[in-house]
A and B are shown apart, each in its own frame.
Chain A
Amino acid sequence: MPDHALRTQRPNPPHRGLPYLLTLPALIALIGILYPFVLGVYYTFTNYTLTEPGNIRLVGLANYIEIFGNIVFWKAFGLTFVFAASVVTIELVLGLGVALLLKDAFPGVRILRSFLIIPMMIPPIVSALMWKVILLPTNQGVLNHILGLVGIRPIAWLGDSATALVSLILIDVWIYSPFAVLIFMAGLQSMPKEPYEAAQVDGASGWFIFRKLTLPLLTPSIVLVTLFRLIDSLKVFDIIYATTKGGPAGATTTLHIQSYFEAIRWFRMGRGMVYLFVLWFLCFVFSKALSGLWTKVLMR
């Protein structure tokens, strides 16, 4: 997975050029990834617009200066982090809670476990559309209807800038909280049994065991869930594009969505790529840090 400090196997003797020959096809694909990436970074220093592909001129840091000075960028920046932070926290807590409920076997636990994978196997764009139907603003939406039964007035959900972001968080939690549940369940299963029996014999209380034993032993799982969910929620796109497309009034325009507008809707490729480069940099830094942390925690 990240760096391989934990792989203790000694490799086979090197066979001259063989390893490179084997990875050659994948290397070509690698170039397939790097070339557009480098091209994209190059565009951030040009005034390239899709409508006049002819005159690409290097404009140095002009794009960066202009964008960093512009309030729209910082609004999108803030929104991205608010969305990511709330999604990760909710999914960590919910994931751990449900995993603990599913920990000790009871009849039907296997069926519940296989239900968990359903939300993740559905295309996110489709899940978002499903929720768009459920979250219809008037009484037509089934969620409003159910809330109405308990006396809550219908909420505009995706239609109102106050509740749009919350609705998107709800959709993301629906799709990806099972991911956290599955990781925590795997973490709980791989934990050594004996320390728990020793704690029982020593007379420790449930809360003492959870705080002193279960939680510390789950740290690798917590770091892993944070790694995957934080990065994916920072670069969320499908869910927002399918429902609010950044609306209403920019209430849900994240960096990724804004880059789409800049590059595709307003054909300003140079500026669009700047948004993307900033988002890429954030994702890269977080992924490097968290995967390093994961290896370190796993070794302990």
Chain B
Amino acid sequence: MADIVLEHVRKCYGDHEAVCDLNLEIRDQEFFVILGESGAGKTTTLKMIAGIEPVTSGAILLNGQPIQNLTPEERDCAMVFETYALYPHLSVYENIAFPLRAPKRRTTDDQIDQAVLRVARILGMDTFLDRRPATLSGGQRQRVALGRALVRQPAVFLMDEPLSHLDARLRNEMRTEIKAMRESFGSTIVYVTHDYSEALALGDRIAIMHRGRVEQVGTPSQVFRRPQNRLVAETLGDPPMNFLSGTISLDQDRSVFTNGSWRIPLPASPRLRRCVGKEVCLGLRPQHIRLERARPDTPFWLPSKLFVQELLGDHAVASVAVGDYLFMALCEADQAYSLDEPLYLAWAPEHMYLFLEDTGEILLAEGD
């Protein structure tokens, strides 16, 4: 049983506020992901839960009990560090057994041996148990770090960007393996990453943090399909969402998005009507954009010129210049366009997003 609640947690280094007024509620056995750029305060939050970083103010509750004043060893948390933090002078076996040898746990030697071998089997480490960390590859070291945390079946399992130092191929494999291993953790998992695909793949729920604040908390599809503001929309998706600034104006009492000569009709909604005249920006995801050579009949298009086309294996990314904006669109690998060829950017009306320019707050999401 391990649900974690953070109430008004704040962390300051001198006058720099790394984490400001954080309120999070993580349910038992949940795979909770904190996603954000570097410097968003996500690792600091994790270290505050683990007790390595003291909380400047606010409370951290584990199953209702406050733990923010406990020292790390008094909290039933295990942590996988971004740099693995293996003990260089101990063998792999001793690294994994180390937590169980802690005096307060009083585990007998063969209990330790059983637990270590069990974990070694799950993570496929039985072949290099007696080697030193320095002689291991990145992937192997990462498994040892996982094993060291798994062996004690903690209430809370903290993971600080465990995959960020692996090469692309190994990262995908380990991500899938962690997802497959999820049941064997048997604890609440708090996973920190800057890679949106890890968040979407692994998270039951995702919290997106930016400069010490939580922008949105939700399930992967909530966060991807209905971002609460422009920042969240930009964070998720590679290549990221395209934006075009403009204003909302009335055209025979229908709200319309205008930018210079371009006019794009918007669905009738009281909220949009209230924002007539306001600066807004239109959001379009690359996979929702079609590049046509002929002018589409629907009003949902923009004129553009091909800037550069990049083939990426199963698909290609075409960068097109729309006025002085650069839009990215996904297209078929074998679709060839020539440089500066005039193209029409077309999309289906339900794929449009609209955000307020100043606060970035969402006005129109996909599908409504």
Contact = CB atoms under 8 A, between A and B. Distances in A.
B13 A10 contact: yes
A13 B13 contact: no
B138 interface: no
A13 B53 CA distance: 7
Contacts of B54: 13
Contacts of B53: 10, 13
Contacts of B13: 10
A10 B54 CA distance: 11
Interface in A1-41: 10, 13
A13 B55 CA distance: 10
Nearest to A15: B71
Contacts, number: 5
Contacts of A13: 52-54
Main secondary structure of the interface of A (DSSP, over half): loop
Interface in B11-33: 13
Interface in A172-212: none
A15 to B, nearest CB: 8
Interface residues of A, number: 2
A10 B48 CA distance: 14
A208 B54 CA distance: 52
Contacts of A10: 13, 53
Contacts of B52: 13
A247 to B, nearest CB: 57
Nearest to A13: B54
A10 B53 CA distance: 9
A264 B52 CA distance: 57
A10 B14 CA distance: 11
Interface string A35-67: 000000000000000000000000000000000
Nearest to B72: A13
A13 B72 CA distance: 11
B302 to A, nearest CB: 43
A116 B360 CA distance: 66
Nearest to A12: B52
B51 to A, nearest CB: 8
A10 B13 CA distance: 9
Nearest to B54: A13
A18 to B, nearest CB: 11
A13 B52 CA distance: 7
A13 to B, nearest CB: 4
Interface string B2-16: 000000000001000
A13 B51 CA distance: 9
B70 to A, nearest CB: 11
Nearest to B55: A13
A13 B73 CA distance: 13
A8 B52 CA distance: 17
A33 to B, nearest CB: 32
A7 to B, nearest CB: 14
A162 to B, nearest CB: 60
A56 B300 CA distance: 101
B9 to A, nearest CB: 15
A10 B47 CA distance: 13
A11 B54 CA distance: 11
Nearest to B51: A13
A10 B43 CA distance: 14
A78 to B, nearest CB: 48
Interface in B28-74: 52-54
Nearest to B44: A10
A13 B13 CA distance: 12
A4 to B, nearest CB: 15
Interface string B190-203: 00000000000000
Interface in A221-255: none
B219 to A, nearest CB: 34
B212 to A, nearest CB: 16
Nearest to A10: B13
A14 to B, nearest CB: 8
B272 to A, nearest CB: 47
A10 B52 CA distance: 11
A78 B54 CA distance: 56
A170 B52 CA distance: 55
5 contacts: A10-B13, A10-B53, A13-B52, A13-B53, A13-B54
Q: Which 5 A-B pairs have the closest CB atoms?
A: A13-B54, A10-B13, A13-B53, A10-B53, A13-B52
